[in-house]
Structure 1
Amino acid sequence: MFITRECDYAVRVLRALAGETRLSVNEICDREAITAPFAYKILKKLQKAGIVKGFRGVHGGYTLNKDLGSLTLFEVYYAIDPDMYIIECLNPKNECVRNGQDGSVCYMHKELAEIQDELWRLLKRKPLDQVLGLTD
């Protein structure tokens, strides 16, 4: 599946953090109905991508490290799942057994690649603050 639950929850985490100085994982979980183990996994990936910043200690928690006006759904989804292809044969890490073998062309591969490109274009077209209805 292209847009996983983890990708969906990553956007929810960012929505919870929008406009906040710092939130604990429990506060994020309460606001967005996410379990703590799942939230920690997502926050770790978002932190690695530089989208959020984590703080340790008694007053620890998380805050946005990037403005939601400069992020797109594509960037968030990519931070969570860098191998987000609608079908395995589009991933450059996997070889399409039907495309390019003996000079042959897989027309299905070609069509799905166009669909993949269009989907990525659509995920990149609006900043996340607009998608979340935080700005006009």
Structure 2
Amino acid sequence: MFITRESDYAMRVIRALMWEPRLSVSEICKKESITAPFAYKILKKLQNAGLVEGYRGVHGGYALKRDPEELSLYEIYSAIDPDMSIIECLNGTYQCPRNGQDGVPCHAHDELQEIQDQLWTMLRRKSMKDLFGKEEK
């Protein structure tokens, strides 16, 4: 399954930032039980995807760049793994030696593609605010 520990931690980082105007990496780590090296790696990917903004200096840290009502698990997970798929043959760059070999399509591929599409739809159906809107600091 494509929901890796890194993807899970990215969701936690977003959750931590939802309640504060800005947090340092150490504050995020403390709130969400994430190690600093892992947090920096995740924050870099989230920043490159335009989901968080980084601030330098004494009062630096990170803040959400997008409204939690506009963010879903799909956006977060795809920021961490842009080629996420439930199986390697669905990621678009993989050339399956069985699919289309001798003119015979792989019927499992079609079924798995449908499952992946449904999963992506489900990951988009609720915003982060829907998921964590009732939680407090």
Is TM more than 0.5 here? yes
Query: 1:92-127 CA distances to partner (integer Å, 9 max, x unpaired)?
Result: 111121112232111111111111111111101111
How many residues matched?
135
Q: What one-letter code is carried by the residue in structure 1 that aligns with 2:74? A: F
Kept in 1, the 8 Å contact 2:15–2:128? The answer is no
Q: What one-letter code is carried by the residue in structure 2 that aligns with 1:8? A: D
Give the TM-score, by structure 1 length: 0.95
Distance (Å, rounded) in 2 between the aligned partners of 1:29 and 1:97: 43
Report the RMSD for the aligned CA atoms in angstroms.
1.2
Q: Show structure 1 runs of 5+ residues with no match.
A: none
> Which residue does 2:71 correspond to in 1?
71
Q: What one-letter code is carried by the residue in structure 2 that aligns with 1:41? A: K
Q: Residue 57 of structure 2 aligns to a residue in which SS?
A: coil
Distance (Å, rounded) in 1 between the aligned partners of 2:56 and 2:42: 17
Q: Residue 120 of structure 2 aligns to a residue in which SS?
A: helix
Q: Residue 28 of structure 1 aligns to a residue in which SS?
A: helix
Distance (Å, rounded) in 2 between the aligned partners of 1:14 and 1:80: 12
Distance (Å, rounded) in 2 between the aligned partners of 1:134 and 1:107: 43
> Which residue does 1:90 correspond to in 2?
90
- Superposed displacement of residue 133, structure 1: 3.9
Distance (Å, rounded) in 2 between the aligned partners of 1:59 and 1:98: 55
